[in-house]
Amino acid sequence: MSGRLCCRLCGGHHLSHFLSLNELPISHYLRKSAKDPDPRFTVHFQSCQDCGLLQIVNAIPADLIYTEADTYTTGFQRPRHLDDLITTAVARQDPGKVIDVGCNDGSLMENLRRAGYAKIVGIEPNPVAAEIARNKGYDVYTSYLTREQATKIVGECGVFDAVFLRHVVEHVSDLDGFFAGVRTLLRDDGLLVLELPEVEESFSLGSPAILWEEHLNYFTPALAEHMLTRFGFQVCDRRSYVFGGGSMAFVCQKRAAPVACALSPPDPAPTIDLLQRFAGGIERQKTELRSLVSSARSAGYQVLVYGAAPRSCLFVSVSKIADMIDFAVDDRQDIQHRLMPGTSHAVRPLAEVSGAVGNKLLCLLGVGSENEFKVRARVDEAVAADTIYVSLFPPRDTLQSIASAREAIVVRRK
């Protein structure tokens, strides 16, 4: 196995193999028909022994991920914390000219406009999502952010008062070049608003749901702050949110110059210890979930996965339960009747499958935990089955949920 020679954050040369995911389909490629390509990749994760960063060392080429086949957009998520995050930024600086890097379909830009930002520009490599944002009236560059692209944008638009980076940096393979672009975009005292996935709770719970072939970097809070300091940003405010499995956010001010690359990273020992426990937890979740699904089917239960966003698709792939699923359900009309990656299951609306459900159902909840109660209510109303639920995503404890489901199956057999 070949990999990077050094850590992409600290430059350290002591990388240790953590995990390989074999024959992994791209989690947001929902095919229109069985004839469409369903490419598979082996993805290797390594951890840096010098700083602790977990990272994918052999990134799938971006031009294979962000293509016309990439129909994944994020507007359906409707994060409830965006107004809080924007309010935290405007408390530091009046809303002015802003650029949303990784703007996807323009959902955040809509919030920024309502908050009073007058000039809003976006950057988005996904051509499908970028076109949706343009149709909302925004100027969007269909590209990646590099120093060269930032220089071009500044030449056309001038420098910006604020840069928003929501769930972008975890996708970046060249952090040095990317942050050089960010600094080029920002005025000297401009604000950077950064949001990243919160990984520590998922690591503690042993949840494979935190892993994604697009996420090349897995930052703890200490590593995120180290990264910001290294690239010349002073953290002014910190926020934590539980939406979508959890995220951490930082509002930062641009310094006059980046800190020297010799800046010492945080002590890697706590993160490395956590990662060792995480690896064992992943194996337990995979084994226990597959065992539960097998037992449920033997007991006459049909199996339904509710949710076909990337985290659900990856969980199904990693746990190797695709051949045990009867139904894949999602509320999003734009992905319905497409095929779940790595499976032959068409994603269908709940109303369409309700009549095919028998009297016993195991429902795997691949939705944000903040929405589980709503989904359970919909399923209970739509189907007449005796339904047992399993939570797949943090902050819910999936192993505990599996144990409860197993016990329920045993009790109901009596």
Phi, psi of 343 (to 5 degrees): -135, 175
* Structure confidence at residue 190 as a pLDDT band (50, 70, 90): very high
Q: Which CATH class is domain 293-413?
A: alpha beta
Task: Give the separation between CA 239 and CA 382, rounded to whole angstroms.
Answer: 38
Q: State residue 207 phi and psi, 5-degree precision.
A: -90, 120
- Lowest-confidence pick of 37-51, 66-80, 213-227, 290-304: 66-80
The torsion of the CA quartet 74, 76, 81, 82, rounded to 10 degrees, works out to 60
Residue range 280-295: mean pLDDT, rounded: 96
224: pLDDT strictly greater than 70: yes
Asked if domains 75-267 and 293-413 share a fold, the reply is yes
The pLDDT, as a whole number, for residue 261 is 59
When pLDDT is averaged across residues 286-290 and rounded to a whole number, the result is 96
- H-only helix segments in 115-196: 127-135, 147-157, 175-185
Residue 2 pLDDT > 50: no
Give CATH for domain 75-267.
3.40.50.150
Confidence of residue 411 (pLDDT cuts 50, 70, 90): confident
- What SS3 class is residue 68? coil
Mean pLDDT of 44-56: 96
In angstroms, the Cα distances linking 401 to 129, 288, 375, 398 are 35, 11, 16, 5
3-state secondary structure labels for all residues of 317-374: HHHCCHHHCCEEECCCCCCCCCECCCCCCEEECHHHHHHHCCCEEEEEECCCHHHHHH
> What span, in angstroms and rounded, lies between the C-alpha atoms of 296 and 360?
9
Q: Provide the residue ranges of all domains of the chain, joining segments of one domain with +.
A: 75-267, 293-413
pTM of the model: 0.91
Of 21, 54, 56, 27, the residue nearest 39 (C-alpha): 27
Confidence of residue 136 (pLDDT cuts 50, 70, 90): very high
pLDDT of residue 68: 54
- In this predicted structure, the answer to whether residue 257 has a pLDDT above a threshold of 90 is no
What pairing do the DSSP bridges indicate for beta strands 15-25 and 40-48? antiparallel
If pLDDT is split at 50, 70 and 90, which confidence band does 27 have? confident
Q: How confident is the model at residue 76 (pLDDT cuts 50, 70, 90)?
A: low
Residue 299's pLDDT is what?
95
User: Which pair of tokens denotes residue 315?
Assistant: 């969980």
Q: What is the mean pLDDT of the chain?
A: 91
Give the pLDDT mean for 90-106: 95
> pLDDT tens digits, residue range 148-175?
999 999 999 999 999 999 999 999 999 9
Average pLDDT, stretch 132-136? Answer: 94
Residues 352-383: pLDDT tens digits?
999 999 999 999 999 988 899 999 999 999 99
Q: What's the pLDDT score for residue 373?
A: 95
Phi first, then psi: what are they for 242, rounded to 5°? -95, -10
| pLDDT tier at 75, thresholds 50, 70, 90 | low
What's the confidence (pLDDT) of residue 1? Answer: 39
SS3 content of the chain, % helix, strand, coil (to 5): 40, 25, 35
- The stretch 89-110 carries a mean pLDDT of 95
Percentage with pLDDT > 90 across the chain: 77
Q: Is the pLDDT of residue 69 over 80?
A: no
pLDDT value of residue 3: 46
- pLDDT category of residue 58 using cuts at 50, 70 and 90: confident
